[in-house]
Amino acid sequence: MKITVADKLTYLFVKRSVKKIFCKKLSGKLPGSTVLKLPEEIWNEYKIRLTGLEKKETFGATLMVRLSLLTLILYEKLISENIEKQEAIRLTSEITWLFYDKLTGVFWIFTWLFSRKPIERVKKAISFSIRYFPYNSPGYEMEIINMNDNEISHNVYKCPAAEFFKEHKLSELCAKTWCDLDYSLADKWNVKLERDKTIAKGDELCTFRFIGKND
């Protein structure tokens, strides 16, 4: 894959916000000068390594693999600065959440048009993302198993992000950042998430069950 004009414009647009997030999360962990240089270093590394990535079947899958690469590079930068592995994973997770929160916020605002009830909004968001973007087939393979008044359950059989991290022998990073952030998202959406199986943890599929809260 190649860097596009959209990539460049996006980077220019979010560069200042990225620096603020890095300063907030990494101050005291790394020298200030190092923290300030990180966004540019990650961007330059991303441009180089993006050429080694293959374009996926759908735009959504391609986008998720691109974001996976950014997550990987951030983690590697923290490790290269002698931050212990589990601490690097924790910091990567916290930083990733701040961006994930903003991206998923678009779906949450959209669902407000249809309902004020959290579980109904979750059902709308999940249904849309599986059918249209970013989790549409054939890039992803997902299936809604059950949907009733108080829950929606779906399985994931193919996940490009999990495949990406597995190729780099960093499934643990995927599980503790990308996968576990789904629980934070459920809390934000005021629903409960149950997941018994996760591809990044060695299972053949991911099992999601979002349940409405009674309170």
CATH of the domain at 99: 3.90.1520
Distance of alpha carbon 154 from the chain centroid: 18
Whole-prediction pTM: 0.93
Helix (H, G, I), strand (E, B) or coil at 125: helix
Band (28; pLDDT cuts 50, 70, 90) = very high
Which contiguous run of DSSP H or E holds residue 144?
Answer: strand 141-148
Residue 215: what pLDDT? 53
Band (13; pLDDT cuts 50, 70, 90) = confident
Band (77; pLDDT cuts 50, 70, 90) = very high
- Note the pLDDT tens digit of each residue in 101-133: 888 888 788 888 889 999 999 999 999 999 999
With CA atoms as reference, report the closest residue to 162 among 150, 152, 170: 170
- Note the pLDDT tens digit of each residue in 79-103: 999 999 999 999 999 999 998 888 8
How many distinct structural domains can be found in the chain?
Answer: 1
Strand partners, 209: 153, 194
Residue 126: what pLDDT? 95
Residue-range definition of the domain harbouring residue 76: 5-212
Flag the least confident range among 12-16, 70-74, 90-94: 12-16
Query: Is the pLDDT score of 185 beyond 80?
Result: yes
Tell me how far CA of residue 96 lies from CA of 6, 78, 178, 193, in angstroms: 21, 13, 8, 19
Residue 54: what pLDDT? 92
